[in-house]
Chain A
């Protein structure tokens, strides 16, 4: 049964930002895409590279050689080791989406006041009533 872990203050991960956190001993990278938070295992499913250290990019597709259809800027993370692309929203790789996926974790933003009531695990820092916090289910 997944537990909810308070892993960061929401203000630490601004839109376009990411943070490597630990929850239940797992390395997890939390992304903020324009205010929406997503959490993936930091371990690339290919060879284990640290996704948090990869470059953030967009999705480039083409229906005609020489034309570059570049969308979803900032929503793709490329593993720093072999440059495989992962969709931050789904964890799926572009090259083999059904078989190669970064594990996803549930993530939400909760009010400090609610967190103090529990049943949350705040492993590394104090939670104050007036702030928002990122909560990962792991």
Chain B
């Protein structure tokens, strides 16, 4: 038994629509890639990051008869808008397009995926918004996809994975950040790996539990990369949302990062203020998983350590199994803070949510 911890009209910043199989994308691929999928016998691009049968991937009651959760706009809507009474859902589609080695194929699948999201989700429920999935394998293609999709104002964010070929701050990625800034799209970094590198800096771990736990240090390294490379000095309007990153590691990491900045900042003189201040201005984190004990006092203390009411965003991470019952927001959030993370923080983060889309 858990408390009901939702907010009426909330903007749910992390909801995952499931791609049933590659066949669903075929109508959105051009004929060459459509035939290639069939000829090569491709039937799934599901990633190791979210093994479909893993309990973490979905609560059992949210799976349909074939075992797939969040399989339609109606199913997602019934849960997110119906039961939890949210007003808006931001769809972050996790499908293994980032894992492909062919740049051309990755670009084709990203286009198909984004078009599929429009047709099967955004067009079916006006309360849904989505992130643009981009082929990070090729920066030029990634920018093209942002430009193509950004015309549809229902796309409110650009989505990449936490672990890729090289750190996200590297300067050859910057045209992507310029495009984000130009179109008022935050860069959403979601847990997951393109599996170009081991998911831990030590080498390949053995078990899924290690892979999933290693996401948090992955996020930390991306945060450090984006700051140290000077992304925010160059793109002061860029916002970054860490999605499914966990939250409570942040103060400890920033303490360490900030401490070393004091002695090492001459390496990166464009980092001209404490990392914490840059994080407060540019980074946002979704609240599931929060990574704290159930004790509300422990949660309160964790929130105090964040030293900002602005950086958390309401998110259920539906259908992933991060909490039981309807406790989307962990106990320990004050009513005012619950309201703030559910409405005003998302509106301040996602410029396009303030528009009357379409």
- The answer to whether A and B belong to the same complex is yes
Chain A residues lying within 8 Å of B231, measured Cβ to Cβ, are 65
Asked if A98 is at the interface (CB within 8 A of a chain B CB), the reply is no
> Complex formed: what's the CA distance from A12 to B265 in Å?
33
A68-81 CB contact bits vs B (8 Å, 1 = yes)?
A: 11000000000000
Asked if B81 is at the interface (CB within 8 A of a chain A CB), the reply is no
Contact B233 A94 (CB under 8 A): no
The residue in B234, B262, B265, B274 that gathers the most chain A C-beta atoms within 10 A of its C-beta is B262
Contact A82 B266 (CB under 8 A): no
Contact A60 B266 (CB under 8 A): yes
Contact B262 A95 (CB under 8 A): yes
B248 to chain A, nearest CB (A): 26
B259 to chain A, nearest CB (A): 8
B271 to chain A, nearest CB (A): 9
B273 to chain A, nearest CB (A): 10
Chain A residues lying within 8 Å of B229, measured Cβ to Cβ, are 65
B258 to chain A, nearest CB (A): 9
Question: A-B pairs with CB below 8 Å: how many?
Answer: 44
B244-273 CB contact bits vs A (8 Å, 1 = yes)?
A: 000000000000000001111110011010
Q: Which of A57, A62, A66, A84 contacts B263 (CB 8 A)?
A: A84
What does DSSP make chain B's interface, helix, strand, loop or mixed? helix
Given contacts A64-B233, A64-B234, contact A69 B269 (CB under 8 A): yes
Contact A61 B262 (CB under 8 A): no
Chain B residues lying within 8 Å of A68, measured Cβ to Cβ, are 269
Chain A residues lying within 8 Å of B274, measured Cβ to Cβ, are 95
Chain B residues lying within 8 Å of A84, measured Cβ to Cβ, are 262-263
Asked if A87 is at the interface (CB within 8 A of a chain B CB), the reply is no
B188 to chain A, nearest CB (A): 23
B261 to chain A, nearest CB (A): 7
A87 to chain B, nearest CB (A): 14
Within 8 A of A (CB), among B256-303: 261-266, 269-270, 272, 274
Contact A82 B233 (CB under 8 A): no
Q: Which of B261, B264, B269 contacts A62 (CB 8 A)?
A: B269
B167 to chain A, nearest CB (A): 14
Chain A residues lying within 8 Å of B186, measured Cβ to Cβ, are none
Chain A residues lying within 8 Å of B307, measured Cβ to Cβ, are none
Chain A residues lying within 8 Å of B171, measured Cβ to Cβ, are 65-66
B331-350 CB contact bits vs A (8 Å, 1 = yes)?
A: 00000000000000000000
Which residue of the partner chain B has the closest CB to A83? B263
What does DSSP make chain A's interface, helix, strand, loop or mixed? loop
Chain A residues lying within 8 Å of B234, measured Cβ to Cβ, are 64-65
Chain B residues lying within 8 Å of A61, measured Cβ to Cβ, are 269, 272
Asked if B230 is at the interface (CB within 8 A of a chain A CB), the reply is yes
> Complex formed: what's the CA distance from A94 to B230 in Å?
19
Contact A60 B269 (CB under 8 A): yes
Asked if A96 is at the interface (CB within 8 A of a chain B CB), the reply is yes
Contact B270 A65 (CB under 8 A): yes
> Complex formed: what's the CA distance from A47 to B220 in Å?
27
Chain A residues lying within 8 Å of B233, measured Cβ to Cβ, are 62-65
Chain A residues lying within 8 Å of B263, measured Cβ to Cβ, are 82-84
- Known A62-B270, A65-B230, A65-B234; further 20 A-B contacts with Cβ < 8 A: A61-B269, A61-B272, A62-B230, A62-B272, A63-B270, A64-B230, A64-B233, A65-B171, A65-B229, A65-B231, A66-B171, A66-B230, A66-B270, A69-B269, A82-B263, A84-B263, A85-B266, A95-B262, A95-B265, A95-B274
Residues of A within 8 A of B (CB): 57, 60-69, 82-85, 93-96
26 residue pairs A–B, Cβ–Cβ below 8 Å: A57-B266, A61-B269, A61-B272, A62-B269, A62-B270, A62-B272, A63-B233, A63-B270, A65-B229, A65-B230, A65-B231, A65-B233, A65-B234, A65-B270, A66-B171, A66-B230, A67-B270, A82-B263, A83-B262, A83-B263, A83-B264, A84-B262, A85-B266, A94-B265, A95-B262, A95-B265
Residues of B within 8 A of A (CB): 171, 229-231, 233-234, 261-266, 269-270, 272, 274
